[in-house]
């Protein structure tokens, strides 16, 4: 029996204003072909199917067309869990209809926890695997907030909430296996942040809980899990060095920081309950490249790229000493002289930024600040004492987390 583990598609995501639907479509075509070629029996999608809780019509079309194609293939089952970017109610809405295609969707923590335990059958209708399909667990799903809690109290409650949820789900899975009398594997799924997990600057991965809390360790997962398929982090990696606990990573580079990273999906073959994991590389559908240096170095690299025949999206980081106000226009002129295969999506002019930051605060514009920067400046403007700031910052982070988790699709 073979399964394919993938996650973090982020359908609908753009990059500095450029839509990426062609890349997503090419990836989904490749995925469908890979499932056929590798004779995959079960597809696991570990969250963040979409980039926002209100995906565009085109993003939705790509998702449903892909599911229909996979349902018509040799793949017997698809299991989809929600990530922190997904709308639980949106994913769950067509749940009954998709079930007729053997697509199992868990968009939110189930009212009846047994609904997160899926017994999947083979072509002879015999149980062959049990999947503990745990979606992204929101703060309110696993922690009862109380007045006067310290950060340590919240950390402990969050971690214990995640631990107890997996313990309960896996205990039910073990009971199912015992009832079936079949020595079949138990596969866990989840969308969370493992302690020590590797991220890349600019990948858009955000903290799941307030104050970077609940980075769980491998020890939080029950020993009965034979393979753990996680989503959220975009870098393919093991958890705690364990080969059977993995992030598949995102299938395409979500930002220029990931440009040199080899993307992959996990192909997992079982012999009895013992998994063998192979990383299957995903092709690059749109070349991203970051070039950096002074103006002379950047111009040389631009000329070389413009002479190539590989369509490339560029991020340029200028760190020369001279202050050049019209740098982008000069670089665009070089690109226009080439074969039109290079497109500059972003120019980061470090010298201009340094000059702006050295000026008085009232000359800094909002587009140079994030929401946390603005709140910090608000505290400064109102002369808030150092003793009061930690609690106010924590409350602010809770509000931002609540806004990020709000399901605008729900009634």
User: Which pLDDT score is estimated for 371?
Assistant: 72
Angstrom CA distances, 160 to 165, 166, 192, 250, 405, stand at: 8, 10, 14, 28, 20
CB atoms within 10 A of CB 409: 17
Is the pLDDT at 293 greater than 70? The verdict is yes
Confidence of residue 210 (pLDDT cuts 50, 70, 90): very low
SS3 282: coil
Residue range 8-65, pLDDT digits in tens: 999 999 999 899 999 999 999 999 999 999 999 999 999 999 999 999 999 999 999 9
pTM of this prediction? 0.85
**CB-based contacts of 395, cutoff 8 Å, min separation 6:** none
Residue range 337-374, pLDDT digits in tens: 766 788 999 988 766 655 555 555 554 555 555 677 77
User: Which pLDDT score is estimated for 334?
Assistant: 80
Residue 361 CA to its chain's centroid (Å)? 35
Mean pLDDT of 235-263: 92
User: Which pLDDT score is estimated for 326?
Assistant: 81
Mean pLDDT of 260-276: 94
Residue range 16-27, pLDDT digits in tens: 989 999 999 999
First to last CA, the chain: 40
Residue range 140-165, pLDDT digits in tens: 888 766 666 667 777 788 889 999 99
| Nearest to 145, CA basis, from 162, 161, 157, 160 | 157
- Domain positions in the chain are 2-281, 290-405
Domain 290-405 in CATH 3.30.160.720: yes
User: Which pLDDT score is estimated for 205?
Assistant: 64
The token pair that represents 55 in the structure block: 């995906």
Contact 312, 299 (CB under 8 A): no
User: Which pLDDT score is estimated for 295?
Assistant: 86
User: Which pLDDT score is estimated for 335?
Assistant: 80
The token pair that represents 300 in the structure block: 């040389």
Contact 244, 269 (CB under 8 A): no
Which CATH number is associated with domain 2-281? Answer: 3.60.21.10
Strand residue runs (E) in 333-379: 342-349
Confidence of residue 128 (pLDDT cuts 50, 70, 90): very high
Mean pLDDT of 311-333: 85
**CB-based contacts of 108, cutoff 8 Å, min separation 6:** 82, 88, 89, 92, 135, 138, 141
Is the pLDDT at 2 greater than 50? The verdict is yes
Is the pLDDT at 217 greater than 90? The verdict is no
The token pair that represents 298 in the structure block: 């950047």
């Amino acid at each position: 029996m073979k399964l394919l583990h993938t996650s973090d598609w982020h359908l609908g995501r753009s990059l500095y204003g450029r839509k990426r639907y062609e890349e997503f479509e090419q990836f989904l075509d490749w995925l469908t072909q890979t499932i056929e070629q590798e004779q995959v029996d079960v597809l696991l999608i570990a969250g963040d199917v979409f980039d926002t809780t209100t995906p565009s019509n085109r993003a939705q079309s790509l998702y449903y067309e892909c599911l229909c194609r996979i349902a018509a293939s040799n793949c017997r089952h698809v299991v989809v869990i929600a990530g922190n970017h997904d709308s639980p109610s949106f994913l769950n809405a067509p749940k009954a209809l998709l079930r007729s295609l053997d697509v199992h969707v868990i968009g939110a923590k189930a009212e009846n926890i047994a609904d997160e335990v899926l017994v999947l059958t083979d072509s002879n209708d015999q149980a062959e695997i049990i999947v503990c399909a745990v979606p992204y667990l929101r703060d309110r799903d696993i922690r009862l907030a109380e007045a006067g809690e310290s950060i340590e109290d919240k950390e402990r409650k969050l971690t214990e909430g995640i631990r107890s949820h997996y313990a309960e789900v896996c205990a039910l899975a073990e009971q199912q296996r015992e009832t079936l009398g079949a020595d079949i594997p138990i596969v866990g799924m989840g969308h969370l942040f493992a302690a020590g997990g590797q991220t890349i600057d600019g990948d858009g991965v955000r903290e799941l809980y307030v104050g970077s809390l609940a980075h769980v360790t491998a020890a939080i997962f029950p020993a009965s899990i034979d393979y753990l398929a996680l989503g959220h982090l975009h870098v393919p990696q093991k958890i705690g060095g364990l080969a059977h606990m993995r992030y598949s990573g995102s299938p395409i580079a979500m930002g220029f920081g990931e440009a040199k990273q080899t993307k992959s999906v996990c192909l997992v073959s079982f012999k009895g309950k013992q998994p063998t994991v192979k990383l299957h590389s995903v092709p690059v559908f749109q070349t991203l490249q970051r070039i950096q240096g002074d103006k002379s170095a950047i111009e040389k690299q631009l000329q070389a790229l413009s002479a190539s025949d590989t369509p490339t999206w560029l991020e340029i980081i200028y760190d020369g000493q001279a202050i050049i106000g019209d740098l982008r226009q000069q670089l665009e002129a070089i690109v226009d002289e080439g074969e039109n295969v290079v497109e500059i999506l972003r120019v980061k002019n470090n010298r201009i930024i340094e000059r702006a930051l050295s000026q008085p605060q009232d000359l800094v514009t909002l587009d140079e600040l994030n929401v946390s920067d603005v709140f910090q400046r608000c505290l400064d403007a109102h002369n808030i004492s150092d003793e009061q700031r930690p609690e106010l910052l924590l409350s602010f982070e809770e509000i931002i987390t609540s806004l990020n988790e709000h399901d605008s699709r729900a009634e």
